[in-house]
Amino acid sequence: MKITDIKVTTVSANFEWVLVKVLTDQDELTGIGEAFTGPGVKELILAESEHGLGKDRGIWSLRHLLIGEDPTNVERLARKVYTALSGIIGTAGSIVQVISGVETALWDIAGKALDAPIYKLLGGKYRDKIRIYADCHAGESEDPESWARRAKEVKEKGFTAMKFDVDKPSHRAVGYNRCLTNPEIKTMAGQVEAVRQAIGDDIDLAVDCHWKYNTNDAIRLANALEPYNLLWLEDPVPPENVDAMKKVTASTNTPICTGENLYTKHGFRRLIETQAVDIISPDVSKVGGLSESKKIADMADLYYMAVAPHNIASPIGTVAACHVCASIPNFLALEYHAIDIPWWGKLIKQEQSLISEGYIEVPEKPGIGIELDEEEVAKHLKQGERLF
Ligand code: MG
């Protein structure tokens, strides 16, 4: 079996969902994946560009690197692209996002070719259904009552865990100094308190800061939120400074989580080795794909850290992540960021709702185990896009 082409289609929703299709020389056998969105992602797959001098002059193109290859050599092909293109594009960012989308599609092909769901190729499953947490964003206003209302709505949908963004409205920290005032911490704690009262103690609650604050103010915030028994406080400080993150983690009983902005095993190595957080949140569609995510989870498991993957994807990226979540021991919860997109689940051919009572059942069909409804996808394309 050989790869014959790679195609891309972008869906426009609350985020752009970059869907990657890998075609093979076996008529019916194609693979689907999703790459985390961003400038240059689609271009990296499709573009061709000359570089080098004299007889070493060559064309770099992800398609050229993969066409003619056996798609079931998933890990080698991901490394081939990373090795060939990192000199021009770097070792993080769009190149790794592209690899993530293509790697997922290769797993889909490998699973279909071997008549096995992807999770079996990753070593089998620890669980039959994947716990999903709903990203709720924030209340309609600063008023804690509006946060409580939002929390109750989400709880009624059956979710057992949810997350709110306390750094919203985003005017906070626009002074660029990363400082939090006492009134701001009080407002945030009031909102979290209102949510906790609305959902009760049995529903898990996480809180996101989007790397806005300095170390000391992040510690003050984490301590102020301790009474509400958070599942985690996410990105209280920027993730680049592992020492600062470790200091926050060591200074509070609130569990600390980071990872959505990190790429590959290398991006996680020091964070994990120094036990700078309690929970890591790699994004499977961004960090390098399914294999890379599983390896990162294994590294974290050495230090008894849990994994709660970040996810803003369509059903394709979400279910791909479910195969990883099924195959690792230290899974905690997987993000769902499309609670306000009513057609999210319609992008796949499936009668029953993909998420039921806050869980996704791990698919048993070969490959990724879900099929794109291309007629529905065509209704939501980004302006100027064509379907594959
Ligand atoms: Mg986040």
Distance CA 32, CA 48 (A): 22
Same domain flag for 322 and 294: yes
Same domain flag for 104 and 134: no
Distance CA 356, CA 158 (A): 8
CA of 363 to the centre of ligand 1 (A): 26
Please indicate, yes or no, if residue 388 is contained in any of the structural domains: no
pLDDT tens digit at each of 388 positions of the chain? 999 999 999 999 999 999 999 999 998 899 999 999 998 899 888 877 666 666 666 666 788 899 999 999 999 999 999 998 888 889 999 999 999 999 999 999 999 999 999 999 999 999 999 999 999 999 999 999 999 999 999 999 999 999 999 997 655 555 688 999 999 999 999 999 999 999 999 999 999 999 999 999 999 999 999 999 999 999 999 999 999 999 999 999 999 999 999 999 999 999 999 999 999 999 999 999 999 999 999 999 999 999 999 999 999 999 999 999 999 999 999 999 999 999 999 999 998 999 999 999 999 999 999 999 999 999 999 999 999 9
Distance CA 310, CA 320 (A): 13
Q: How many domains does the chain have?
A: 2
CA of 288 to the centre of ligand 1 (A): 18
Same domain flag for 137 and 72: no
Same domain flag for 232 and 324: yes
CA of 223 to the centre of ligand 1 (A): 19
Instruction: For residue 74, give its domain range.
Output: 3-115+374-378
Same domain flag for 86 and 222: no
Same domain flag for 26 and 99: yes
CA of 77 to the centre of ligand 1 (A): 30
Same domain flag for 238 and 151: yes
CA of 234 to the centre of ligand 1 (A): 6
CA of 29 to the centre of ligand 1 (A): 35
pTM: 0.96
Alpha helices in the chain (DSSP H): 41-46, 62-66, 74-89, 94-114, 118-121, 144-156, 182-199, 215-224, 242-250, 264-273, 284-287, 290-301, 315-327, 374-379
Same domain flag for 64 and 164: no
CA of 304 to the centre of ligand 1 (A): 21
CB 326 within 8 A of CB 290: no
CA of 206 to the centre of ligand 1 (A): 10
Please indicate, yes or no, if residue 101 is contained in any of the structural domains: yes
Please indicate, yes or no, if residue 369 is contained in any of the structural domains: no
Same domain flag for 109 and 133: no
Same domain flag for 135 and 280: yes
Q: State the CATH number of the domain containing residue 106.
A: 3.30.390.10
Same domain flag for 247 and 216: yes
Same domain flag for 333 and 203: yes
In this prediction, residue 88 carries a pLDDT of: 82
Please indicate, yes or no, if residue 348 is contained in any of the structural domains: yes
CA of 69 to the centre of ligand 1 (A): 36
